[in-house]
Amino acid sequence: MRRMVIEQDIRPMSEFRSGVASFIKQVHDTKRPLVITQHGRGVGVLLDVGEFEVMQEKIELLEDIQTSISQLEAGDGISHKNAKQEVLQRLGR
């Protein structure tokens, strides 16, 4: 996801309501999120679908890494040598 351009990517709800299609096009074209404000406070974020999917994949990967770290800290890990042997056995080598 590209970095936000503050002056272009934060819009009040009233402006968003009157130009929804143009803001959806902006998000699609720039791949940057659009922050929607109401009474000067952020109330929502509009994202391109592809960018949202990439973000979800990254979150899942980070959760998997955190689970792995927790398992290793709890002593549930195995050595590199044993892991390699298990993988090779499963591959039939």
Contacts of 8 (CB under 8 A, 6+ apart): 26, 32
Q: What are phi and psi of 49, to 5 degrees?
A: -60, -45
Q: Give the pLDDT mean for 32-39.
A: 95
- 34 in a structural domain: yes
- 39 in a structural domain: yes
Count of residues making up the chain:
93
Whether the pLDDT of residue 2 is over 90: the answer is no
- 86 in a structural domain: no
Domain of 66? 1-74
As given in the structure block, the two tokens for residue 48 are 């391109």
- 6 in a structural domain: yes
Q: What is the CATH classification number for the domain harbouring 41?
A: 3.40.1620.10
Say what the pLDDT of residue 9 is.
84
Total domain count, the chain: 1
- 80 in a structural domain: no
Rounded to two decimals, what is the model's pTM? 0.69
Lookup result for tokens 């999120």:
33
45-87 pLDDT, tens digit each: 999 999 999 999 999 999 999 999 999 999 998 888 999 999 9
- 83 in a structural domain: no
Lookup result for tokens 């709890």:
74
